[in-house]
Amino acid sequence: MTPANRKKLVVAHSVRPEAPLHEVETNRALARWLAQILGLKYGGSYDPELHNGRDLYLLPTQTLVGAAAARQLGVKGPEDLWGGYVDHDFICTKAISHGLHNKNAYAPEGWSPLFSERVRSVVLDGLSVFSMDDARPAAEHLLYSGPIRIKPIHACAGRGQEVIKSLDQFDAILAKPEAKALFTEGVVLEQDLDHVITHSVGQSFIGDTVLSYCGDQYLTEDGQGEQVYGGSNLLVVRGHYDDLLELELPDDVQLAIRQAQVFDRAADEAYPGFYASRRNYDIAQGVDSNGKQRSGVLEQSWRMGGASSAEVAALQSFVNDPGMRAIRVSSVETYIDQPLPADAIEVYRGPAQNSDFLLKYVTVKSYDG
């Protein structure tokens, strides 16, 4: 942190009133940890009365939406938070990854056609839909090329997704009572891949430090037997993407990094009000229905996410050893009650939203093994 920012108070902020306990407690744990690393005071969870007028460094659980929300929290730019800001809600969702079916399709206020033009070469085939009238034509267009995945734009951790293989199957979804609300809120229709590996690529700008990383993520079963986010393995460098690309990386990882860079630059260009100090991108690589290898950015995360604890652990490692070039860190989420592995750092242990138990922890390993 610059000298002017030394008096900032690090504050956790659970944005959603209905947020589950594990999200709230994880947010607090990371804010407390980050305060200790930065040599700042931890101010607990954001309280408008207690923190009004204070100089805050905020850790919001969600991307901040709208000037009024940012102003109320005292956030003026990326140096005031570890997360991100957008002018309109849809900008921080899966929706911006794809264009609309045609010029007559409904677009939410603030929609930028420029973004989908800029990222077309680095995303999978897909369309974004914001009305019932546009849903079937969009699905029909995409199903000519093979199965598609339906993804509600506000769902996270892979929840609520379904693979559609025929128009009849899609029509059955349109016939459900909740369909109008679903498609009005926003849905992404995207080609489905087999044998998928999901890469995580991103950057964090915290105080005076820039971290850039690549890695992969994997799924696990929650208490309901649903496949959900299970963790990320990251390779982190102190510096920018060019520094990351100087490491010996496989071709598929280099491709994922370059695709994330295109997506990242497009966000800055197409949505000039946007800013973020945490920029995380998921890139899927797999085989399409024609047996062709495909790679594309699925979505962005400009907020606290599953890999955030690993990023904080990496920051701690670089602070402890300023001469270190790179570090390997992993965030783990398991729904099985078990002892903490040796040398792991516990982030959360307790009930989850859809399960009786959830354990979150981080492990750290040297870059060269």
| pLDDT tens digits, one per residue of 16-53 | 888 899 999 999 999 999 999 999 999 999 999 999 88
Query: What are 304-362's pLDDT values in tens digits?
Result: 999 999 999 999 999 999 999 999 999 999 999 999 999 999 999 999 988 899 999 99
CA-based angle 31:36:39, to the nearest 5? 120
Band of pLDDT at residue 368, cut at 50, 70 and 90: confident
Q: How high is the pLDDT of residue 353?
A: 83
**Residue carrying the six token digits 């690549």:** 214
Return all residues near 24 (Cβ < 8 A) that are at least 6 apart.
12, 14, 45, 61
Q: Are 194 and 286 in contact (CB under 8 A)?
A: yes
Q: How high is the pLDDT of residue 158?
A: 58
Residue 164 pLDDT greater than 90, yes or no: yes
Residue 322 burial (10 A CB sphere; 0-12, 13-18, 19+): exposed
Output the six-digit token pair for 198: 């999901």
**What DSSP assignment string belongs to 182-222?**
HHHH-EEEEE--EEEEEEEEEEEEETTEEEEEEEEEEEEE-
Q: How high is the pLDDT of residue 18?
A: 86
| Secondary structure (3-state) at 12 | strand
Same fold, 93-122+125-192 and 195-366: no
Task: Give the class (CATH, top level) of 195-366.
Answer: alpha beta
The fold of the 93-122+125-192 domain, in CATH, is Dna Ligase; domain 1 (3.30.1490)
Residue 3 pLDDT greater than 60, yes or no: no
Q: How high is the pLDDT of residue 4?
A: 46
pTM, to two decimals: 0.94
Residue 185 pLDDT greater than 70, yes or no: yes
Other CB atoms within a 10 A radius of the CB of residue 306 amount to 22
Q: How high is the pLDDT of residue 161?
A: 86
Band of pLDDT at residue 157, cut at 50, 70 and 90: low
- Measured in degrees and rounded to the nearest 5, phi and psi for residue 49 equal -75, -45
- Average pLDDT score, the chain: 94
- Measured in degrees and rounded to the nearest 5, phi and psi for residue 173 equal -70, -40
User: Where do the structural domains in the chain lie, given as residue ranges?
Assistant: 3-87, 93-122+125-192, 195-366
Residue 6 pLDDT greater than 90, yes or no: no
Residue 119 pLDDT greater than 90, yes or no: yes
